[in-house]
Amino acid sequence: MNDQGNLALSRRHGIPVVSVDYRLAPEHPYPAGPDDGIAVAAWLLEHAGKSVADGGFGTDRLILGGESAGGYMTAAVLLRMRDELQAIDRVLGANVVFGVHDWGRSPSQRGFRPHGGPDMLDPEGIKFFSDCYLPGRSDEERRDPEISPAFADLRGLPPAMLSVGTSDHLLDDTLLLAGRWAAANGDVELFIGPDLPHGFMAFPCALTQRWEQQTDAWFSRILAG
């Protein structure tokens, strides 16, 4: 879905971009998606540093990123890279855009938003895809730190940029993750778009242009570092 965005990112910053075709629910519920993500991460850790002629990408450092379900996958795979692969030092940063980080349904997921504008998501739809991804689990069970990144130990993670709009039903997920990331002494840059919905980059305006500028500046800073 994001081929054009990935191509633009690659050209703008001169970096290779790998887009992961991970398995999807309901046919493949948790943990199939994160399992695929960590498998790709492990492959990249082993092969990305090789030259292009040898089947690599010519760099041994990674930046993880994604939007919506991909934002959740970014956080989930990043934590597994730290805990399972002991390779967090190979990750320069994480670009996490309006992901699900509290699968126990945060207040905004339940409809309690600071702005009641239109959104691509609604509480009924969120409950539907949550039940597809995590069938048979209660809200409390879905807040297991291995499932919901906002409840995990966030110490020792790389710099992150988190983005969300105030009309997004996933607003509180981003705010909770950003606050806990910062409290764990993490380097966190937070973009909050007034009145913007889920998937706001699909609606060109001055605010989305500001988000693009801030995101590009973050990538430039992380790559320079």
Any catalytic annotation for residue 198? yes
Q: What domain range includes position 45? A: 3-224
Which SS3 state, helix, strand or coil, does residue 75 take? helix
The CATH number given to whatever domain includes residue 211 is: 3.40.50.1820
**What's the whole-number mean pLDDT along residues 150-167?**
98
Catalytic hit among 36, 68, 119, 163: 68
pLDDT in the model for residue 115: 87
Q: What is the pLDDT of residues 185-196, one digit of tens each?
A: 999 999 999 999
**What's the whole-number mean pLDDT along residues 9-33?**
97
Q: What is the pLDDT of residues 63-106, one digit of tens each?
A: 999 999 999 999 999 999 999 999 999 999 999 999 999 999 99
pLDDT in the model for residue 225: 85
Please choose, from the candidates 71, 168, 67, the residue with its C-alpha nearest in 3D space to the C-alpha of residue 120.
Answer: 168
Percent of the chain with pLDDT over 70: 100
Q: What is the pLDDT of residues 36-73, one digit of tens each?
A: 999 999 999 999 999 999 999 999 999 999 999 999 99
* Count of domains forming the chain: 1
Quick one: tokens of 5?
Answer: 């965005």
Which SS3 state, helix, strand or coil, does residue 83 take? helix
**What's the whole-number mean pLDDT along residues 156-180?**
98
Distances from the Cα of 182 to the Cα of 10, 22, 25, 153, 219, angstroms? 28, 29, 31, 12, 19
Any catalytic annotation for residue 122? no
Catalytic hit among 102, 119, 168, 172: 168
**What's the whole-number mean pLDDT along residues 107-113?**
97
**What's the whole-number mean pLDDT along residues 199-212?**
96
Any catalytic annotation for residue 148? no
pLDDT in the model for residue 171: 98
